Structure 1
Amino acid sequence: MASIDELKKRIDMHDLAERLGLKRGKGGNANYHSPFHEDKSPSIGIKDGYFRDYSNDGAPHAKGSCVDMVMYFRQMSDVADAMRWLHQEYGIPLDKKDAPAEVPREKSRAEYIADKCIAEAPQVREYLNGRGISDQVIDAAIKAKTLGFNSYTSKKIAEGEVGHGGPAAAFIVRHPQTNAVLAVDLRYLNPELNGGVKTQSQGDKDGVLWCSDWRRFKNAKRVWIVESSINALSIETADPHAVALVLRGLGNVDLVDWAFLRGKFVIICLDNDKPFEPPHKQAGHRPGPEAAWRLYERLTAQNIGAMLVDQADWRDEDEELINDVNDYLQAIGPEKLRAALEKFEPWLIPGLSGEAGTFGKKRVYLPAHDFAQYWKFRVRPDFTNYIGKMEEKDGEDGETIKTPIVSDLAGFRVASLSRVSVASSTSTMTGDPDNQPTVYFAVSVQTPRHGPVLQRRVMQDEQLHNIDGWKKFGPVWIPSAFSRMINILERTADLGARQAANFVGLAWRDGELIVNEGPDCYFTEPDKQCPYHNLTFPGGTTREARQVIQAFQTTYKQNAALIPLVWALGGHLKVLLGFWPHMMIQADKGMGKSTLIKRMERAIGFTMFSGQSLQTEFRLLTSISHTSHPVGWEELSARRQDVIDKAVGLLQENYQYTVTRRGTDMTEYLLSAPVLLAGEDVPVKSLLGKIVRTELTNKKGPMMPDDLPRFPVKNWLQWLTRLSKVQVMERYRDIRQMCLNASRASGQDDGALRMASNYAALYLAWEYLCEFAGLDPLQGDFDADMLEEMNRHIGETSADREPWVWIMETALSEIAAGRFSYPYAWEGQGDNAKALLVRTSHIMDHISTAPALREKWNGLPVKSDRVFKKQMMNAGVIDGDCERTIHTRRVSNLQIISLEKLRQFGLYATPSTTKSYEHD
């Protein structure tokens, strides 16, 4: 069966809409009517290979690819059924054992328009010159193929009607990494020819930005954000070294993932709109400034330093308000525009002026006693001043001149103080409604030493006015004024207030799957609570995903290296499955185990902890907390026995997830990370039902290339957010049954059944990875090699899975060494001995009281004689009870333990050659 990516390449969405019976609205580029309800205007849009039902956005599969479209309109619940329908409808063969060669993809509508616009690009110069844009900027954008000219007019739509077209400047939107064409924005020179419509866009709109040259953006330290492409070119005209991004609509403030701006200083300069006049339903609101406030909040939440351009004095020679950057360029000129763009708002709360009489809706309400003090606080990007008093002097005309006396207040700027509601661990891991959220206050600060990267601290109520805590950011010179400033900032706690989840990886928040990175979390003690508290996942393309998978598949035979990679990436399915097994890598010396682990660290960004860093229970605990991204423990077997016992206990708990609290302040730790155990002898007897493994010995293949890209973990996690828990569990149950059918164990072996369930989860991750990367799950025989490893694992550990075996092994060793002081006897002599006669309670008593066996006793999962005896009876090694005279003493209730049956479990006794009891 073809992958989803291949179906997207081969299927035209408009053709699919016709085959699904959708009725199209009027006009060549019109949307489609919904078949589920009557809609006066078409509510189903199709753009560049994706559809979206705007009237039912919250429904499952109401937007997405061709597969989602089939599932939505044909009311299907299974992806495979939808893909099968597409294969039959379009005559695409279902057989796909070998991955086919890349099929040349037809150009999208946006790419076709872009090519036409680039060919006519020189014609745009006259129009842009008339708007004040310099030739240098125009030439650079044309060279980068982000600027063109469109002269298309429709022959079907009359002049003056919407959709007719006409000459237009074309701004070509490209992907930041691949440079692929995503959309084309048209700005008509004569809107009347197009029915009064001034702008139009072809291709992707939501979450996509325009930049004149993404290569320049990568090296930029500062970035301006504006509303329109002409405004961006105006900024670059005023400062040829500047880089500007274009929102392409104020709605994109909430749709763009702004994480790519981390490390850059962002300057926000949206349109200086006047308030709407009554009777407008939004009377008093200013779209541009209010969108700038929202953008500032979103950037600050991701620790991105940002400032707003001060537009209070943007007026022309007639004292009329200047609306945007291009208007300023035309009215005042490039030199003064450059100076104006460098003038930032000085107010403590961005967007809230300290001067009375400003018009429009205020960002936040300050009571009179706060507003009377508010104007005294002035900020720069990484510094805060305070106006303590006004100095009065007599002017030349007799008037009194007041001059502010500015003092240094703090060596940093408080960028925001927001209330954050952190979801409970149960809600984060299961998606259930949250009944126990925790409220914190997130403080973001910009300091000189960290540049544009904001420093965040999570504080509780009693910490907000602790000046010593604030001094950790930098110097505070006037503590009393600083406390007053914080008191004012408390009024802004609702600005940027947000719901959060303290979990790195795939997590639930408000009942929806999200990708949560380190900067998205709000830990009170980040360096202790999560090993990935500052991790951002590597991103990339599906092509790079295929490269990484294929490299790991070939570097060791029988997929021995690919199995741990699939396990590591599949660990994020824990929040959908409810569990995830740990991984054991075993190899002899010189088999490349350490090299493979290092390549995994580089490929997916996971951390391998050395044995030296795992010497205490607390260090073990902090290494596996608040994440589903895997961690590794190196050479656990080389640690002390008490450390091993504690480590195994923690691994038992975080097979699913467990919440614990430590310290006097009861700091919460969510134990959840899957753990990779590496070494020559991994001590995991009690973990066999919660672990999968791979063996590297004698399986070496070619080395992986040194220039291997990183796996796009972030894209993989974003792809997983499309899945539903019901869908994943249904697919998992089918795969689990397949693994059970292929298992060598009987249906009565509960331990083997759980092991098969673990390998089923691993294969589920493999199928999803193949679907994400566009690979065939059957290629490379991953399924056969994994099932072979599963059966070998089950067969080799059949005895080790039972705790009674470990206890009997210790007891037989103690008897052979002559250290067992309780009465026992042999049924028969020497090689003819058939049974061991001993009380199971005496065995448990001996192990619990012998000083030399203290560590073994502490590590046993079974410490009750009743459970020990029950397990032995279930295993069939006890042939009943008896009573014997041993050393002249009568001993009753001896268990008859068959030596032949013990040998079946790998247990071998050493019977004495003399009788140790007397017959009745």
Structure 2
Amino acid sequence: MASIDELKRRIDLHQLADRLGLKQGKGGDKALYHSPHHPDKHPSLSIYQGHPKYGTGWKDHSGDAGGSCIDLVMHVQGCTVSDAMKYLHDAFGIPYDTPTNSAPAREKSRCDYIAERSLGHAEKVRAYLTGRGISDAAIDAAIKAKTLGYNDYTSSTKKPGEVGFCGPSAAFIVRPMNRADVVAVDMRFIDPALNGDVKTQTQGEKDGHGWTADPRKLARAQRVILVESSINALSIDTCAIPGTAAVSIRGIGNAENIDFSFLIGKQVVICMDNDAPFPDGHHRAGHRPGPEAAWTIYERLTALNISASLVEQSDWIQDLADGANKTAPINDVNDFLLMRDAASLAKALNTFEQWLIPGMAGNATHKGKRRVYLPEHDYALYWRFRTHLDFTRYITRMERKEDSDVETPTYGDLCGFRVASLSRVAVASASSTMTGDVDQAPNVYFAATVQTPRHGSKLTRKVMLDDQLHNNTHWLKFGPIWKPAEFSRMVSILERTADLGARNAANFVGLAWRDGALTVNEGPDCYFTDAEKQCPYHNLTFPSGARTDARRVITAYQHTFKENAAAIPLVWALGGHLKAMLGFWPHITVQADKGAGKSTLIKRLERSIAFTMFSGQSLQTEFRLLTSISHTSHPVGWEELSARRQEVIDKAVGLLQENYQYTVTRRGADMTEYLLCAPVMLAGEDVPVRSLLGKLVRTTLTGKRGPLLPDDLPRFPVREWLEFLAGLNKREVLDHYRALRERCLTNSRASGADDGALRMAGNYSAVALAWHYLCEFAGMDDSEGAFFHDLLAEMNGHIAETSADREPWVWILETVLSEIDGGNYKHPYTFDMVDGEFCILLRTGHVMDHIAHTGSLRDKWNGLPVKSDRVFKKQLQQAGVVVGTKEVERRIFMRRVPYLTPISLRRLEAFGLHVSVREDLC
């Protein structure tokens, strides 16, 4: 079958609209079309061809729909993506077999065969599900989405009535979110007696995957209801609640296993089974599996800042016709549907618990073990606090109306938000986060998570220190507090729940160590006390996608500039997350002349991996520089640093020296912690980083420009890449790095005595290591595009061109020789022959004094890593530019000047240093 991109290119949307039967209004070829789903007096569906704002596509202005040719078919016919593609192939005569799809087909699993067989007999399940109260509309939607079937398998080795015999069953096909492959098939037996009274059985994976009848409906839903079983999810679909989808977690064991991040941005309702407590004598006496699973899900959703509510099930009581068993509870959603009706179930699902602590009743309706222990003085007031989705009230008094024995509460407004949780968080120290060592000094904070009207279903979280917890000033940042005294009392009760959502965390965005294991940490996983200042990526969620996208992105970057000039910064940026295992990561400079494509490449890189390039205007102070590189291994960029003041440049270089590995600093009256560790991309025509040459790599774009990156290039799957890195073994990574370093040193032009060049080779080896693992991740051969060859060429060119710039003594002499040529050097010096070589003779102490005490050279002095004449002289001797082994004495302007160091002018020329010789001093 042709790819989606190919169908978009080949199909004209106007022709498609005509074949779909859409009626076009008056006005010729550019006229709008009438909407297919409701009568509209004026046409409301537009088709765009190369529109400057909307591109090529369509938009139904009467609703929130639009997209490509495939979306138009789905919009008109209400079908799936697969059905839409089949329609387009048939309607336009496009062959199914295309040469673009050369990848081998995935081998079918056992679950695939069971799913195919079950879908082929799906209609047979209707009678059973109808008997369970499920509507035809819900059954049809599930069958159409290929998530529901019928299986009549029976074992040839078992007898009817034995466990494992199976028999006719409703088959629920389980697929991962946003994927089409089958990972499991859940079977619910129509006659459990045939299978030894075992009601359900699963083929495939159980943990980590939920089930929904219609994934497209789930993607569009604003509210999602979580239940235990798939038949309960179909029961909710029977209610046809607008904007609502149901998801089955497939058993309470999955409460801790499913990744609920797909629910971010949605309002979640939790409705687990209404289980009665285990009886006395049971090893779990008093426990209620369903409600306790609901508590676990609530805590996990709250940690993801997802708003969740528990359904009030205290009045789920059976209403038997004979009047018996009036206190027997209704166990689950499907039982409720059978005993009542769909309208009653819809109403019940919209009735939420109003207790301050979700899952813990404050009256006689409580059953089984309590979620948290409250002492008598707290429990006596607990019942007064009542919550709504984004509001909290307080019962001021109970009144008994005339001729009534029932007391009626009188409510007062407490605060304009709901406290979803108050949890204690142990944040790992910087050393533990970066190295994986046992944490000896974690920081303990309190995370207050609330729901406010202005943020809808997204929870808002603030981190408080111990002494801030009872300061209402911090709570007022969420919203209004009308009863401060009662609010403070409420907070003191919520303190008892700090253990419920207690968790260990790491304040780090990227690949970090947490509890001794590598983990992928995103912005929402962090607990910063001042997030906007502490980390540039405090709210970042890494781009996610298929692994096949990784290969497309890498290949495109290899082609857009020759000699892998664009691929090197891409590999460098993605490899920065290896810092958690290597302990260091180099910075990078992107050098290019005007018009070479530097800005275009950087903007595309920002889009591809979601990294931030800071403008020079935003880097005017040391504090802004510091906040841009804190608490992350995801790269950042500094644009045109050379255009800043020298003071800013010196501070920037100093910070880059520190975050080559990592450094902890604290600022402000509150001693807020900053972990400096982000790799930095320095872009410009002339990047002033002479003192950083041993801590960076480079790429040069000038003269290497190729074809532009395609507009439809997908984003790199950074999330999956980090998960891949998290599965690596640190020792194996280090061993592989050492092997690559030896290979780079073997091919390096530097001598073994050049320590600076050896370190540079180590930096390029780190990029080579990232390339190796990227190839493994993307399914590429590491020889593709000759990346390693071009990286070695860049390394050797970098080493050769910076041989002089790497030595601080060169910078010092360069400055002093310039001062001598300008007539500004007031200390004694002369030119003479020493041991057969023409030399300049001066005192190293005079050189350092001149730079230190000359006002115009103050910035240069501040930026020098060497400020001692002893170290300066030692470096001169090690470089071999000093003639002889002894200091000499000469008469200069009628004065005898001893302890002069003779420096060969011929040898200085090899380092690019020159000076004008004064004949009156010869």
Under a length normalisation based on structure 2, what TM-score does the superposition of the two structures give?
A: 0.87
- Is 2:888 the counterpart of 1:886? no
Alpha-carbon separation, structure 1, partners of 2:101 and 2:825: 68
1:871 aligns to what? 875
| CA displacement at 1:188 relative to structure 2 | 1.4
Alpha-carbon separation, structure 2, partners of 1:442 and 1:245: 28
Alpha-carbon separation, structure 2, partners of 1:180 and 1:237: 26
Alpha-carbon separation, structure 2, partners of 1:402 and 1:275: 30
Alpha-carbon separation, structure 2, partners of 1:583 and 1:165: 62
1:896 aligns to what? 902
- Is 2:652 the counterpart of 1:651? no
| CA displacement at 1:269 relative to structure 2 | 0.5
2:187 aligns to what? 186
Alpha-carbon separation, structure 2, partners of 1:330 and 1:456: 41
The change in CA–CA distance for 1:181 and 1:521 in structure 2 (over 3 A counts) is same
| CA displacement at 1:238 relative to structure 2 | 1.2
Bigger Cα displacement from structure 2, 193-202 vs 355-364:
193-202
User: What pairs with 1:440-459 in structure 2 (closer than 5 Å)?
Assistant: 440-459=445-464
Calculate the aligned-residue CA RMSD, in Å. Answer: 1.5
1:88 aligns to what? none
- Is 2:249 the counterpart of 1:247? yes
User: What pairs with 1:224-623 in structure 2 (closer than 5 Å)?
Assistant: 224-241=225-242, 242-318=244-320, 319=326, 320-356=328-364, 358-395=366-403, 399-623=404-628
User: What pairs with 1:20-169 in structure 2 (closer than 5 Å)?
Assistant: 102-169=103-170
Alpha-carbon separation, structure 2, partners of 1:313 and 1:100: 57
Alpha-carbon separation, structure 2, partners of 1:757 and 1:256: 41
Q: Secondary structure at the match of 1:879?
A: coil
Runs of 4+ more than 4 Å apart: none
Contact 2:149 2:171 in 1 (8 A): yes
* Residue-by-residue CA offset, 1:477-522 (whole Å, 9 max, x unaligned): 1111111111111111111001111001111111011111111111
Residue identity opposite 1:834 in structure 2 = F
1:725 aligns to what? 730
Q: Secondary structure at the match of 2:675?
A: strand
| CA displacement at 1:784 relative to structure 2 | 0.5
Alpha-carbon separation, structure 2, partners of 1:484 and 1:147: 51
| Residue among 767, 776, 790 paired with 2:795 | 790
Alpha-carbon separation, structure 1, partners of 2:702 and 2:203: 56
* Residue-by-residue CA offset, 1:314-342 (whole Å, 9 max, x unaligned): 11213320011001000111110000000
Contact 1:517 1:536 in 2 (8 A): yes
Contact 1:149 1:168 in 2 (8 A): yes
1:915 aligns to what? 921
| CA displacement at 1:763 relative to structure 2 | 0.8
Alpha-carbon separation, structure 2, partners of 1:365 and 1:577: 46
Alpha-carbon separation, structure 2, partners of 1:422 and 1:314: 42
2:749 aligns to what? 744
Residue identity opposite 1:888 in structure 2 = M
1:812 aligns to what? 817
| Residue among 827, 841, 844 paired with 2:845 | 841
Alpha-carbon separation, structure 2, partners of 1:260 and 1:504: 20
Contact 2:360 2:366 in 1 (8 A): no
Contact 2:142 2:214 in 1 (8 A): yes
2:96 aligns to what? none
Residue identity opposite 1:316 in structure 2 = Q
| CA displacement at 1:161 relative to structure 2 | 3.3
Identity %: 64
| CA displacement at 1:567 relative to structure 2 | 0.6
Bigger Cα displacement from structure 2, 246-255 vs 127-136:
246-255
| CA displacement at 1:240 relative to structure 2 | 4.7
Alpha-carbon separation, structure 2, partners of 1:894 and 1:721: 59
Residue identity opposite 2:723 in structure 1 = Q
Residue identity opposite 1:230 in structure 2 = I
| Residue among 637, 646, 652 paired with 1:641 | 646
Contact 1:540 1:711 in 2 (8 A): yes
The change in CA–CA distance for 1:357 and 1:204 in structure 2 (over 3 A counts) is closer
Alpha-carbon separation, structure 2, partners of 1:745 and 1:161: 76
Residue identity opposite 1:118 in structure 2 = L
Q: Secondary structure at the match of 2:401?
A: strand
Bigger Cα displacement from structure 2, 175-184 vs 488-497:
175-184
Alpha-carbon separation, structure 2, partners of 1:196 and 1:827: 107
Alpha-carbon separation, structure 2, partners of 1:736 and 1:102: 35
Alpha-carbon separation, structure 1, partners of 2:593 and 2:566: 15
Contact 2:414 2:487 in 1 (8 A): yes
Alpha-carbon separation, structure 2, partners of 1:466 and 1:336: 44
Contact 2:314 2:365 in 1 (8 A): no
Q: Secondary structure at the match of 1:202?
A: strand
Contact 1:166 1:190 in 2 (8 A): yes
In the alignment, structure 2 segments of 5+ residues that lack a partner are 1-99, 321-325
The alignment covers a number of residue pairs equal to 813
Contact 2:393 2:415 in 1 (8 A): yes
Structure number with greater CO (CA < 8 Å, separation at least 6) is: 1
Q: Secondary structure at the match of 1:211?
A: coil
Bigger Cα displacement from structure 2, 641-650 vs 156-165:
156-165
Bigger Cα displacement from structure 2, 430-439 vs 101-110:
101-110
| CA displacement at 1:369 relative to structure 2 | 1.3
Q: Secondary structure at the match of 1:207?
A: coil
2:212 aligns to what? 211
The change in CA–CA distance for 1:356 and 1:317 in structure 2 (over 3 A counts) is closer
Alpha-carbon separation, structure 2, partners of 1:638 and 1:158: 84
| CA displacement at 1:201 relative to structure 2 | 1.5
In the alignment, structure 1 segments of 5+ residues that lack a partner are 1-98
1:624 aligns to what? 629
Alpha-carbon separation, structure 2, partners of 1:103 and 1:591: 40
* Residue-by-residue CA offset, 1:43-77 (whole Å, 9 max, x unaligned): xxxxxxxxxxxxxxxxxxxxxxxxxxxxxxxxxxx
Alpha-carbon separation, structure 2, partners of 1:823 and 1:431: 56
Contact 2:171 2:188 in 1 (8 A): yes
* Residue-by-residue CA offset, 1:646-679 (whole Å, 9 max, x unaligned): 0000000000000000011111000010001000
* Residue-by-residue CA offset, 1:218-255 (whole Å, 9 max, x unaligned): 11111111111000010110125320111112222222
Alpha-carbon separation, structure 2, partners of 1:700 and 1:200: 59
1:678 aligns to what? 683
